[in-house]
Amino acid sequence: MRQARVLNEVELKRVLAVINMGKYSQRNRLALLLSHYAGLRVGEIATLKWSDVNETDGSVKSVFYLDAENTKSNEARAVHLNQILMKEVALGWRSYSLHPNLDDAVIQSQKGKSFSANTLCQLFSRLYASAGLDGATSHSGRRWFITKLAHSGVSPKVIMELAGHKHLGTTQRYIEVNEEMKSQAVALL
């Protein structure tokens, strides 16, 4: 099976620009960035509640925990948020409702219900197609996250744990390598 396309910086900016021009831009932007900046799977994004990512006073957590039943491996794991994603979660919370409820889903459908993993996959497909990005799927953000960390020199063990993988080989399959990266690597010698 062909792997999901890993976006470059220009492509990520392009899909975010398309999202910003569309309906439900804050929700769609947050969903996409949870995939890219936290490496979450669509099923994990679909199950997120505001209480997972926010304290009771509404402030954003820098680390939150996915319950075992909401992960592919059925093992709980910590999710670390960088400053960019913390800002997006805060914006999402503020734009969400005048009377936000911590028990509500972070990513909600037009009807105010949580997305299923399948409908969230469809949303991602539409967003990428609108930006003209063939080969990008709901897994593109996760591959971007792992690839970006790997090429930034982060320890493979740390990446494996952030991704929630049990085996390093699984993590390695996510890492995108292209000709430019190979050229840059040998230029270091």
Tens digits of residue pLDDT in 57-79? 889 999 999 988 888 888 889 99
CA distance between the termini of the chain: 35
CA distance 166 to 158: 12
Band the pLDDT of 182: cuts 50, 70, 90: confident
The DSSP result for 60-115, as a single string, is BPSEEEE-GGGSTTS--EEEE--HHHHHHHHHHHHHH-SS--TTSBSSB-TTS-BP
Residue 172 corresponds to which tokens in the numbers above?
């390695």
pLDDT value of position 43: 95
pLDDT value of position 73: 83
Residue 180 corresponds to which tokens in the numbers above?
């430019």
CA distance 91 to 30: 9
Band the pLDDT of 101: cuts 50, 70, 90: confident
107 neighbors 120 (Cβ within 8 angstroms): yes
CA distance 35 to 58: 22
pTM of the model: 0.91
DSSP strands (E only) in the chain = 63-66, 77-80
Give residues with Cβ within 8 angstroms of 137, minimum separation 6: 4, 5, 121, 124, 125, 128
